[in-house]
Amino acid sequence: MNNIKEFFKTSSERVETFLESYITNSSLFTSGLNEGMRYSLFAGGKRLRPALVYASYSLFKDDYDYVTPFAAAIEVIHTYSLIHDDLPAMDNDDMRRGKPSNHKAFGEAEAILAGDALLTKAFEIMSDTSYSPQMPVDIRLKAIYKLARAAGDKGMVGGQFADITSEGRKPTIELVDYIHKNKTSALIECAIYLGAVAAEAKENEIDNLIAFGKYTGLAFQVVDDILDITSTSEVLGKNVQKDIESNKATYPAVYSLEGAKQKADEYINKALYHLDIFGERADILRDIASFITERNS
Amino acid sequence: MNNIKEFFKTSSERVETFLESYITNSSLFTSGLNEGMRYSLFAGGKRLRPALVYASYSLFKDDYDYVTPFAAAIEVIHTYSLIHDDLPAMDNDDMRRGKPSNHKAFGEAEAILAGDALLTKAFEIMSDTSYSPQMPVDIRLKAIYKLARAAGDKGMVGGQFADITSEGRKPTIELVDYIHKNKTSALIECAIYLGAVAAEAKENEIDNLIAFGKYTGLAFQVVDDILDITSTSEVLGKNVQKDIESNKATYPAVYSLEGAKQKADEYINKALYHLDIFGERADILRDIASFITERNS
């Protein structure tokens, strides 16, 4: 797994270098906004989604800088979603990645606006042709459309809506499936898509990679649910056992802890199946899938 | 002014027909989200920004359906901004367009998510090539980039951030200028740009139209500030005199009421100057500019 650690590290570095220079401030009236955006962007996340963009891209090409705007944009979307999810009206989380959550550090209105600004920024980055100017415009447009679909009311936001509005009610399998598919898996699937479409992969290849992304995303969220029960707040850098307290719709809640672990394995196996056509060159994606199921934070 | 009323009416109808069919729901777990999005989208706004897109487009072409996705997208962005602006942590407004504001009707978390979903939806609409499929992809991409810039941290969100973080402090001219330019004018300028770029106007034409949009946007916000003092909540459909109560950075606060009225005239004159090169075919834009300064709500 040294290989995978190295891959995550270089992925992070590429994306952080890009964001470091891209997320600038131009007015003294918005320095607090810029500070809030950067606070959450550079809070030491795992950069899983960018790593997936690069990993997917690596099956076809190796000029990684070319796809960096896409990797950065999806991380920016992910970051906005964490800021808004943590808000008092939503999950009301005081801690994130071992630090005060954005609204705790900057105030609630400021956190809402930092989230809005980041969400908008993702589409600015995606449509900014001064980066990777040689990218065909139709590829860029397809990527923007997919990202908007994955992040919106029929993707991530829809999943979060279903999640918060179902709290306190007895969760069903249908509900848990809907939440996991949309709240988490949609964006992970999109990350895989972005790498593949930037590399101009064939339709059949893209279809298999999307399926890999979908099941990997589901496995990721099941493991997240399991860790909320079995891990500690020191390891996770956020409060634990909140899901049970608020009667959240999770896999362990509908399948039991043991059933959830089996479900995670099932999803990973389905994910790996869709990599078969790529042979050894998909090893980095296999390693990331293992990393996701075996992680402890 | 019958002409202009008719223009607003047909602009509204075009955009509403589009949004009516575009903003759909696909899961029983998100019906509340869809309801919240539609509640604010169809709350009877003036549809000023769509009218500006169509008016700008009308200088060059008349197949208005072609530019409807752009007109719809900018209205969707405007609507999200109203929902988030009204939130308790922001302006804390209970009323909007004579009805309970979104969070009053649906709850705070739901309103945050409806706003997030609408913001994302705007970029889905902009990049959806199943509408106006004959539009060149580079035009579409330019339009997306401009919209993201106008709506983001160096545009509308930046303006709103400066606005809320300066409350209670003595406003300066620089601050008021920054807020008005970014919070309101940026999106109005963008609306004018979207119409012109979709019509594939020449660079010089686009530059003049952008300048018209900028000054019209500034005039619009000055009039808004004035109406907050001189109008009633019955006429405006929202609470009035809130600006003074919260010591907001407004034109009347830094220039006096009379000075603000002069400023509005000054901006409109500057705006109109940039229409000269277009002759009579820009009359609809002149009428909209008059409508903006002479309105009472």
- The CATH number of residue A103's host domain is 1.10.600.10
Q: Give yes or no for residue A239 having a pLDDT over 70.
A: no
Neighbours of B14 (CB within 10 A): 21
Looking at per-residue confidence, does A229 or A113 come out higher? A113
For chain A, how big is the Rg over CA atoms in Å?
18
Compute the distance between CA of residue A181 and CA of residue A158 in angstroms, rounded to an integer.
10
Q: What pLDDT, in 10s, does the model give residues B78-88?
A: 999 999 999 99
Region for residue A87 given its phi and psi (left: phi exceeds 0; alpha: psi -120 to 50; beta: otherwise): beta
Q: What pLDDT, in 10s, does the model give residues A37-49?
A: 999 999 988 999 9
Choose the mutation target among A26, A27, A82 for the interface with B, i.e. most B CBs under 10 Å: A27
Domain enclosing residue B114, as ranges? 2-294
Contact residues on chain B for A126, CB-CB shorter than 8 A: 144
Q: Give yes or no for residue A218 having a pLDDT over 70.
A: yes
Q: What is the mean pLDDT of residues B216-220?
A: 95
pLDDT score at B95: 93
Compute the distance between CA of residue A148 and CA of residue B68 in angstroms, rounded to an integer.
19
pLDDT score at A234: 66
pLDDT score at A247: 75
What does the CA dihedral A243, A247, A250, A251 come to, rounded to 10 degrees? 110
Q: What is the mean pLDDT of residues B27-44?
A: 97
Q: What is the mean pLDDT of residues A243-252?
A: 78
Residue of A nearest to B127 (CA): A145
Q: Give yes or no for residue A220 having a pLDDT over 60.
A: yes
Q: What pLDDT, in 10s, does the model give residues B135-179?
A: 999 999 999 999 999 999 999 999 999 999 998 788 899 999 999
Using pLDDT thresholds of 50, 70 and 90, give the confidence band for residue B91: very high
Å between A144 CA and nearest CA of chain B: 7
What ipTM does the predicted assembly reach? 0.96
Using pLDDT thresholds of 50, 70 and 90, give the confidence band for residue A229: confident
Å between A130 CA and nearest CA of chain B: 11
Among B residues 115-134, those touching chain A with beta carbons less than 8 Å apart? 115-117, 119-121, 123-124, 126-129
Q: What pLDDT, in 10s, does the model give residues A142-170?
A: 999 999 999 999 999 999 999 999 987 78
* Stated pTM of the model: 0.96
Å between A113 CA and nearest CA of chain B: 6
Q: Give yes or no for residue A242 having a pLDDT over 80.
A: no
Q: Give yes or no for residue A1 having a pLDDT over 60.
A: no
Q: What pLDDT, in 10s, does the model give residues A174-206?
A: 999 999 999 999 999 999 999 999 999 999 999
Q: Give yes or no for residue A62 having a pLDDT over 80.
A: yes
pLDDT score at B45: 87
Interface membership of A76 toward B (CB under 8 Å): no
Asked if A165 and B26 come within 8 Å (Cβ–Cβ), the reply is no
Among B residues 179-198, those touching chain A with beta carbons less than 8 Å apart? 179
Q: List strand residue ranges (DSSP E) for chain B, in order.
A: 95-96, 99-100
Q: Give yes or no for residue A297 having a pLDDT over 90.
A: no
pLDDT score at B279: 97
Candidate from B25-34, B61-70, B228-237 with smallest mean pLDDT: B228-237
Q: Give yes or no for residue B236 having a pLDDT over 90.
A: no
Asked if A84 and B112 come within 8 Å (Cβ–Cβ), the reply is yes
Of B127, B129, B178, the CB nearest to A27: B178
The total domain count for chain A is 1
Looking at per-residue confidence, does B3 or A239 come out higher? B3
Q: What pLDDT, in 10s, does the model give residues B5-20?
A: 999 999 999 999 999 9
pLDDT score at A169: 79
Query: What percent of chain B is predicted at pLDDT more than 90?
Result: 84
Residue of B nearest to A103 (CA): B89
pLDDT score at A238: 67
Choose the mutation target among B19, B127, B134 for the interface with A, i.e. most A CBs under 10 Å: B127
Å between B168 CA and nearest CA of chain A: 15
* Integer angstrom CA distances of residue A172 from A169, A196, A220, A249, A250: 9, 34, 19, 8, 9
pLDDT score at B106: 98
Q: What is the mean pLDDT of residues B217-222?
A: 94
Among A residues 143-162, those touching chain B with beta carbons less than 8 Å apart? 144-145, 147-149, 151-154, 157-158, 160-162
Q: Give yes or no for residue A18 having a pLDDT over 70.
A: yes
Residues 6+ apart with CB under 8 A from A193: A56, A143, A146, A206, A209, A210, A213
Asked if A124 and B141 come within 8 Å (Cβ–Cβ), the reply is no
Q: What is the residue type of A198?
A: A
pLDDT score at B71: 98
